[in-house]
Amino acid sequence: MAATAPAPSRRLNNASDDEIGRMRAPMNGSAYLDYNSGAPLRPLVAEAMAACWTEAGNPSSIHGPGRAARRRLETARAQVAALVGADPHGLVFTSGGTEANAQILAGSGAERLIVSSIEHPAIAEPADRAGAATIPVGRDGIIDLAALERLLSEDDRPALVSVMLANNETGVIQPVAEAARLAHAHGALLHCDAAQAAGRIEISLAALNADFLTLSAHKMGGPPGIGALVLADPSFPVAPFLLGGGQESRRRAGTENLPGIVGFGTCATLVGDDLNNPATTSQICTMRDRLERAALTRLPQAMTIGAEAPRLGNTACLALPGLPGRTQVMALDLAGVAVSAGPACASGRQETSRVLTAMGLGPDIAGSAIRISLGWASREGDIDRFLAAWTDLARRKGFTVSQAEAA
């Protein structure tokens, strides 16, 4: 049974409501709408981390300062595990989601890999090198479960199936529990990259029936450079990716990043509070829906990708055929609006989105898509600023904009 995490105060140092409001204000008057790349650090997380920087002590040391550091580490472990209903003993802290993904891909003991065709590059690129089989998706961006069953049936070698919980570009939520049922029926294990979904929807490791789960702090408003691999069975003999020490129950060598881990734990508690408050999650979804409605009214030739499927409430993927996504991103940046085209880790490349191509979208649509993603500090003014800048760009590029909505 999963342990219950200690619940620190939501307001460290008794911050007032006015102070919390200022913490959540847009940064420098700009509109930051790229939370799926990385959320702004929550001020209460920064405060918790700062408290660690003045404390000495290695969590592996047995003296007093070391034991105090160990207590902080294990408190954070319980907090992060509680966010997904996991046993803290099965949670391995890593340097981020990419390392956690790499560890399970290399260390599960499986003889073959099966991954969805819309995985994040942290899964897709090593899977390509390993010659993994891929699960196709429909035009709605949802994996083809019948195809997964065929892939499982055609080879009886032990397999690891990897299916993300929510796509980072479209926000489309995948039927992970059904994929896990098929995998287990064929003696395979299932890994779920939940980095984009964590903090945005409720996650239960038991309900997903996943064997392994990946988390990343910076997607939720925690610090960058810290993530976790969660094992449903804490005794599973996952092979260590890094050697040279007994940390993390000998599953990940190296002195733990204690400030980052404490920040991760604090962030997990804060987003857990948010998920328990329907007003918080519905506010973000309402802003996203307003953005999409206004965008399509002003520019009817635009389209929302993945709108026919279950999606994260914070993510909009808009395509405007005839206007390259990279052009839109750069022009919006000059207007003080931050969005993205494709995953952040591939932002320096010129290639068309692998995810949108897998969904069967042609280059004219896939190459013209941008992603707008909201989060804990987003405000209605951010939406207004995006709409004004986006429609102004479209008008300058020769698109006809509805005058009634563009005003």
Whole-number Å distance between alpha carbons of 194 and 174: 10
C-beta separation of 60 from 189 below 8 A: no
Find the helix or strand (DSSP H, E) in which 294 lies.
helix 278-298
CA dihedral 164, 169, 172, 174 (to 10 degrees): -10
Length of the chain: 407
Partnered with residue 304 across adjacent β-strands are 318
Q: Which of 213, 212, 143 is nearest to 179 (CA)?
A: 143
Tell me if residue 52 is catalytic. Answer: no
Whole-number Å distance between alpha carbons of 189 and 124: 18
The active-site residue out of 52, 192, 285, 345 is: 345
Question: Residue 322 region, left (φ>0) first, then alpha (ψ -120 to 50), else beta?
Answer: left
- Listing DSSP states for 126-195 in one string gives HHHHTT-EEE-B-TTS-B-HHHHHHHHHT--S-EEEE--SB-TTT-BBP-HHHHHHHHHHTT-EEEEE-T
Find how far residue 203's CA is from the centre of its chain.
12
Q: Which two tokens stand for residue 146?
A: 């019948």
C-beta separation of 100 from 248 below 8 A: no
Active site residues: 345
